Amino acid sequence: MPNPLFDTLLASHRVNESNFLTDLDGNTRSYAIFFETVLRTANALGNCGLKRGDRLAIQVEKSFQSLEIYMACVASGIIFLPLNTAYTINEVSYFLEDATPKVFICDPAQKTEFIAKTTNSKLLIYSLAANGTGSFSNLVVEQPANFKPVDLDAHDVAALLYTSGTTGRSKGAMLTHRNLLSNAEILVEQWRITADDTLLHALPIFHTHGLFVAVNTTLLAGSSMIFLPNFKIDTVINNLPKTTIMMGVPTFYTRLLDDPRFNKNLVKNVRLFISGSAPLLPETHKIFETRTGHYILERYGMTETNMNTSNPFEGERRAGTVGFPLPDIKVRIMKDGQEAEVQKGEVGMIEVNGPNVFKGYWKMPEKTAEELRDNGFLITGDLGYIDEDNYLHIVGRKKDLIISGGYNIYPKEVELVLDDLPGVLESAVIGVPHPDFGEAVIAVLVASPNSNIDISNVHAKLELNLAKYKQPKKLFLIKSLPRNTMGKVQKNSLRDTHKNLFMTV
């Protein structure tokens, strides 16, 4: 029995001398050296006592070694658990207790604190720094490169990714070898990724976007990555001329557009800009196309599924939409709480089915049963509709739906009107408790650079474009919207800030 993910992504690169990785300082890693080091790393994991089905947790900065640990886990049948580098020690402690890994790899500066904090005396804690040094690297160097990949089933779990936990206890999504492999194969085909491509990688690798979408497609295609530690405007601009593909979040593109150096000549070698993890404003699409001649390709994915839909590589990339279902993936729009589809153009709950859909939530069978139907459709929690040309539109999360005076209000509809107003860079619309209406609509606005927003004028414009019940009862100006590391607006934070606005406390 083969090892599906390892065999497809890495086995063919055993003697491939072409470049796989280049870091900020110009250091490189060929495919052949990467392959050899993965085998050494897999032997190191075995010497730590890890075996098929065990978990390895890791919270480190981006490095070549962090990717080698990921692929060594794949080769060994070990479940890979990457953790957000922004998590505090107390937050990480929850994941270590819930996932019960045998090995945890962290930054050298935090190793002593983690050792003091953990209640699991059997947990082995190693260090790995961004420059590749640390106690785990020392262990790898001592190993031979003779590891034989473990035979696995396609439905074995390859990775455990925890959701953000903004509405309660974080859930660990179990992603199988089949989930990851099927998605990589589809995306390479749909986005025409080849060995001639060079991907600019400035995303974090504790998330499905930066890890599975970016890394797995690169490995499968045999292309190259410029592997940056993070997004810094000067570094990205310096590397764009050497790039053919860039994957990013909307913040990447808005920051590039703010820089006068970002122009058509700078990106003349780029053939594809991809955006995801958060909605991209239609206005950003227009400005980007005018400045560069490129139209950004938006797609839709989530932790539990990787990618579900994509705007077409060839054909109209329609602003404000996330395109069509990917091959072998089904998307349907359902009436909330019912197993009945809505009419085309009507808003409902987005459900997804396909080989990309996860196995379930770690140690949460009840939660899995709530969100994963018996027929394999995942209830995503996202609200959307399919237009007359079959493009999927996302209008928000179910938890963000506002019910005011008995009326359903979709924040995205109000945000689109606000974002189109002069001087408004972006907006976020939320519902907060109200003694008469149940919930009241309020909006926070961010002004464009060198612009002033007159709140009274905003109210007047809204009266012309929105029904009374949809209009925000209060408008607030802030410097920037709170976002997580993937660029998603943290509306829960905004709701916490304004939750007592209309209530007596």
User: pLDDT digit string (tens) for 4-19?
Assistant: 999 999 999 999 999 9
Residue 199 token pair: 């991907």
468 phi/psi in degrees, rounded to 5:
-55, -40
Domain boundaries, the chain: 4-15+31-152, 191-295, 401-498
HSE-CB for 78 with a 13 A CA cutoff: 31
pLDDT of residue 167: 44
For residue 25, what are the contacts with CB-CB under 8 A and spacing of at least 6? Answer: none
Specify the amino acid at residue 435. P
| CATH 3.40.47.10 is held by the domain 4-15+31-152 | no
Mean pLDDT (whole number) for 461-482: 88
Q: Specify the pTM.
A: 0.85
In angstroms, rounded to a whole number, what is the distance separating the alpha carbons of residues 416 and 408?
A: 17
Please state, as a whole number, how many other Cβ atoms lie within 10 Å of the Cβ of residue 456: 8
Q: If you write DSSP's letter for every residue of 281-299 in order, what string do you get?
A: PHHHHHHHHHHHS---EEE
458 phi/psi in degrees, rounded to 5:
-60, -45
In angstroms, rounded to a whole number, what is the distance separating the alpha carbons of residues 477 and 468?
A: 21
For residue 53, what are the contacts with CB-CB under 8 A and spacing of at least 6? Answer: 77, 78, 79, 156, 157
Please give the class, per CATH, of domain 401-498.
Answer: alpha beta
Closest CA to 299 of 326, 329, 323, 327: 323
In angstroms, rounded to a whole number, what is the distance separating the alpha carbons of residues 135 and 422?
A: 55
Closest CA to 245 of 295, 198, 185, 203: 198
Q: How far from chain centre, in Å, is Cα 237?
A: 22
What residue spans of 77-110 are helical by DSSP H? 89-99
Q: If you write DSSP's letter for every residue of 304-316 in order, what string do you get?
A: TTEEEEE--SSS-
Residue 58 token pair: 């890791």
Residue 189 burial by CB count (10 A; 0-12/13-18/19+): exposed, middle or buried?
A: middle
Specify the amino acid at residue 339. E
Mean pLDDT (whole number) for 21-35: 96
For residue 253, what are the contacts with CB-CB under 8 A and spacing of at least 6? Answer: 273, 275, 280, 284, 288, 296
4-15+31-152 and 191-295 in the same fold:
yes
pLDDT of residue 42: 98
175 phi/psi in degrees, rounded to 5:
-105, 130
In angstroms, rounded to a whole number, what is the distance separating the alpha carbons of residues 312 and 365?
A: 36
Share of the chain above pLDDT 70, in %: 97
Q: What is the largest CA-CA distance in the chain?
A: 71
C-alpha distance across the termini of the chain, in Å: 63
Alpha carbon dihedral 243, 245, 251, 256, in 10-degree steps, equals 40
279 phi/psi in degrees, rounded to 5:
-70, 145
| CATH 3.40.50.980 is held by the domain 191-295 | yes
501: helix, strand or coil: coil
In angstroms, rounded to a whole number, what is the distance separating the alpha carbons of residues 25 and 307?
A: 32
pLDDT of residue 338: 77
- Return the ∠ at Cα 420 (arms to 416 and 422), rounded to 5°: 150
Task: Report the chain's mean pLDDT, rounded to a whole number.
Answer: 92
293 phi/psi in degrees, rounded to 5:
85, 0
Share of the chain above pLDDT 90, in %: 71
pLDDT digits (tens, 9 = 90+) for 264-318: 999 999 999 999 887 788 888 999 999 999 999 999 999 999 999 999 999 999 9
Q: How far is CA 228 from CA 83, 180, 192, 203, 367, in A?
A: 18, 23, 23, 8, 37
Q: Would you say 228 and 201 are in contact if contact means Cβ atoms under 8 Å apart?
A: yes
Mean pLDDT (whole number) for 452-465: 86
184: helix, strand or coil: helix
71: helix, strand or coil: helix
pLDDT of residue 469: 82
**Rg from Cα positions in the chain:** 23
Residue 11 token pair: 């086995």
Q: Would you say 325 and 377 are in contact if contact means Cβ atoms under 8 Å apart?
A: no
pLDDT band at residue 1, thresholds of 50, 70 and 90? low
pLDDT band at residue 451, thresholds of 50, 70 and 90? confident
Residue 208 token pair: 């499905």
In angstroms, rounded to a whole number, what is the distance separating the alpha carbons of residues 431 and 57?
A: 37
For residue 329, what are the contacts with CB-CB under 8 A and spacing of at least 6? Answer: 186, 308, 309, 352, 353, 354, 355, 356
pLDDT digits (tens, 9 = 90+) for 130-179: 999 999 999 999 999 999 999 999 999 999 999 864 445 789 999 999 99
**Is residue 405 predicted with pLDDT exceeding 80?**
no
